[in-house]
Amino acid sequence: MSFDNKAALAAGIATLCIITGAAAIAQNAAEAPEARYYMDAGTIGGFMGQGANHELTLRLGSRLPASGAPQADHFMPQGARLGASVPLETPVRSTGSTEYGEFQRPKGRLLLYWGCGEKAGPGQPVVIDFAKVAKGQMPPNLFSAKVPMENGPQPENSRTYGTWPNGKTSKSISPQSSILGQHRIAGNYSPEIAFGLNQDFMAGLKVRTSNGAAGSTLLNWNGLNNATGYYAWAMGGQDMGGNKGGDMVWWSSSATQEFGGGLWNWLSPGTV
């Protein structure tokens, strides 16, 4: 029996996320902030013996139109090693039609497990049959609670939108980069946004595995001082090629029946 496996462990949940608005947040859309800014600074732990790397995602969304061609820049502290600024590019909205191929009813199953321990807990696995899902049949009570997706600005919820990284520049964040210091966002479709950061990229996780009893795998890692939580998951698949069917197994370290969704993203302290 051959399986292709993927596993990951996230801490804190290994990102520092800054969400700021250019005006006070109100209750209705007419009084919503003129602009919202999302800065996601993440640390990717070393894989295959390599050191930790950094990742940085910047997104500016505004309910205002641009005065001319959309243009915005994020001016960085010197320690970021990205030059004076990086451009937030506005993606071109596609207007073409989409052609779909012939529908093939999916085959196979997804087996869901959760929690830590040598043996699966009661009620496990939850089995999702892809053929039944295509007919609109989902297992009842699939999730124990709703973990919200906190996605911030997106093209779909913004009149004007800009993002980095993008194809406009080849600059990239490096393992030696720091985001400590003063930041400023300026453009022609949002008020100027300025803030200072006194928290840098999180340190990298160092994960160790060992064999446990009854064929289990033990995970150990170094604690991070500013982490609010840790989340691990693993996936494996058997004979999934060519829509032949087969089984996939998805395990989540969540103590309750939760999989992916908001757990894969930045979570506010209130949600954690």
> Confidence class of residue 270 from pLDDT cuts 50, 70 and 90?
confident
- C-alpha closest to that of 164 among 93, 254, 74: 74
pLDDT over 70 for what percent of the chain?
78
pLDDT of residue 10: 55
Average the pLDDT over each of 115-119, 121-125, 241-245 and give the range with the smallest value. Answer: 241-245
- Token code pair at residue 7: 């596993």
- Token code pair at residue 155: 């093209």
Edge-to-edge strand list for the sheet holding 53-62: 15-21, 35-44, 53-62, 160-164
- Token code pair at residue 120: 């699966």
Higher pLDDT, 141 or 171: 171
Residue 185 burial by CB count (10 A; 0-12/13-18/19+): exposed, middle or buried?
buried
> Confidence class of residue 217 from pLDDT cuts 50, 70 and 90?
confident
pLDDT of residue 3: 33
Contact 189, 70 (CB under 8 A): yes
Contact 114, 256 (CB under 8 A): yes
pLDDT of residue 19: 55
Only one residue has tokens 């040598």, namely 118
Asked if residue 5 has pLDDT above 60, the reply is no
**Domain range list for the chain:** 4-92+144-264
pLDDT of residue 223: 86
Cα separation of 261 and 253, whole Å? Answer: 14
Contact 152, 38 (CB under 8 A): yes
Task: Look at the alpha carbons of 167, 171, 172, 173 in this order and tell me if their dihedral is positive or negative.
Answer: negative
Asked if residue 195 has pLDDT above 50, the reply is yes
